[in-house]
Amino acid sequence: MRSLTRSRWMTPSHLLLATLAAGSVALADTPARPAYVGLGDPHLNVVPRTEAEAARIAAATARATDFTSAQAYEERPAGAATVRVLPDANAFSQPSGNISFEDELEFKLGNGLFRKLWVSSPSSTLASDGLGPLFNARSCQRCHIKDGRGHPPENADDNAVSMFLRVSIMDPEGGAESAAVAEIADYIATLPDPTYGSQLQDFAVPGHASEYRLAVRYDEEIVRLADGTEVALRHPTYEAANLGYGPLHEGAMLSPRVAPQMIGLGLLEAIPAADLLANADPDDLDGNGISGRPNIVWSVQFDQPMLGRFGLKAGSPTIMEQSASAFAGDIGISTPLFPAGAGECTANQTLCQAAIHGDNDDRGTEIDAEGMDLVTFYSRNLGVPARRDVDDPEVLRGKEIFHSLGCTSCHTPSFVTHRLADQPEQSFQLIWPYTDLLLHDMGPGLADDRPEGRATGREWRTPPLWGIGLTRQVSGHTYFLHDGRARSLIEAILWHGGEAQAARDSVVNLPAEDRAALVRFLESL
């Protein structure tokens, strides 16, 4: 583990890591549940680890050196929270395997809100009105179908209900007026588009114009592997067509987003920040070509900097905040964190701002604090299915290749979560998510040229790999990466560049049987 104490060689980036790990960020006032603190750790009721536990954790999470058999507990990627593999599309929709009978009811209530179809105001169904006026989907489930991955439009007639375009412009003032930005080193200050906000909505309630229609064009490139195999890669071009409110800002930066899978989020939230920061090497001091950086973002919930964990660029610090942001931007539903009744409408969209919304005296916002707690609990407790074929010789060979190519430099295999006094489902679990939750430069091929927080236009958060082999079963497709351009795992690998270029090139030169073993290993996750 790299020391984070102050030393003469530490750069500003390392000083930021040291500050966060040392706990110099003040604690926030927090509700009883969920309870969050600063330092990037979103839990207050943490039981400190003993020296003996730290030694056990180091042994349990040590990288594999023997590939003749599976590691201990590897078949249970979520520890005691692991769930059995269902044979149908509901494989990602089960509660944590160690959830109590009483809390399973809370999970089901949260699921009901996650699946709820919202309607426009005014409506006789007061508990469900408040949709829009502009929106991308009528429910969380419409984007995160079966709690799995979304997909880009399949053809010209396919709507983009699980895909949209984020939009922003550079802040001409550099964030100088913002206390939030001033406290975060290396923050890249941006602003929403003055007319269209921070994301484009392709649906609207009656009487309002939608903001745009997403148009995607693909150009194919043939990549020839060393053994002569040809793989076609799709190069997407995105257009915000049929703009409903005039032109975008001349400096508008657009970035596509496909809804990611939902499993294991609570366990990712429970990884100690210090363990994630220990993997950060922003200046590549060890010279291995990998320079993972944490995204430190401003938490609206706690009015302080926190470690970003969620979103394709790690732009959100907690499940609660990520969920509330999605309610506002995707559905146009107000929450205690984002209470605007008009959702993501801007001041320039005057008709949208003046529309009737669903806030009322009983709830205050269209979904209230109790409802947000239920949705957060549901999202936190979506179970990770068990691994398959962990002792299969081909899977073990693929695992060895995965390690030997350096893939684990970003896709960190395992962690042990905090001991959490009030979250037994996520407490002290050995988990295998295959992510470091850090930002990495993925090269020009995947660059969206749109910064987010400290993330540059070439950086993306390492996505968790658990459950990736069940994508077709759950989602009905095998589209991967932030915009679904890759139609297979091999295509996804071939898009890797930047810090992953060497590993990608090594895959190109693999014999066919080793390449097949690598894919078989990934499909076992």
Q: What's the pLDDT score for residue 177?
A: 60
State in Å, rounded, how far the first CA of the chain is from the last one: 26
Give the model confidence (pLDDT) of 378-388 as tens digits. Answer: 999 999 999 99
User: What one-character-per-residue DSSP string does 198-256 give?
Assistant: TB---EE-TTS--S-EEEEEEEEEEEE-TTS-EEEEEEEEEEEES-SSSPPPTT-EEEE
The Cα 29–Cα 323 span in angstroms is: 20
pLDDT of residue 38: 44
Kindly tell me the number of DSSP H helices and DSSP E strands found in the chain: 15, 15
pLDDT for 360? 65
pLDDT at 22 > cutoff 70: no
- Model confidence at 88, pLDDT cuts 50, 70, 90, reads very high
Name which residue leads in pLDDT, 297 or 16: 297
Closest listed residue to residue 255, CA positions, set 401, 393, 458, 65:
458
Q: What is the C-alpha separation between 501 and 496, in angstroms, rounded?
A: 6
Integer Cα distance of 312 and 309 in angstroms: 9
> Measured in whole angstroms, how far is the alpha carbon of residue 96 from the centre of its chain?
19
State yes or no: pLDDT of 340 exceeds 60.
yes
> Which of 370, 280, 278, 276 minimizes the C-alpha distance to 41?
276
* Dihedrals phi, psi of 221, to nearest 5 degrees: -120, 135
Residue 142: per-residue pLDDT: 92
The whole-angstrom separation of Cα 464 and Cα 314 is 12
Tokens encoding 98: 């160690």
Both structure tokens of 368: 């209230």
Tell me the H-state helices in 299-453. Answer: 319-326, 350-353, 369-380, 393-404
Mean pLDDT of the chain: 89
The DSSP call for residue 423 is: -
pLDDT tens for residues 242-297? 999 999 999 999 999 999 999 999 999 999 999 999 999 999 999 999 999 999 99
Q: 125 pLDDT band (50/70/90 cuts)?
A: confident
What percent of the chain shows pLDDT beyond 90? Answer: 80
Bridge-partner residues for 166, per DSSP? 199, 255
Query: pLDDT tens-digit profile of 34-67?
Result: 333 445 577 767 888 999 999 999 999 999 999 9
Q: What is the pLDDT of residue 156?
A: 66
pLDDT value at position 347?
94
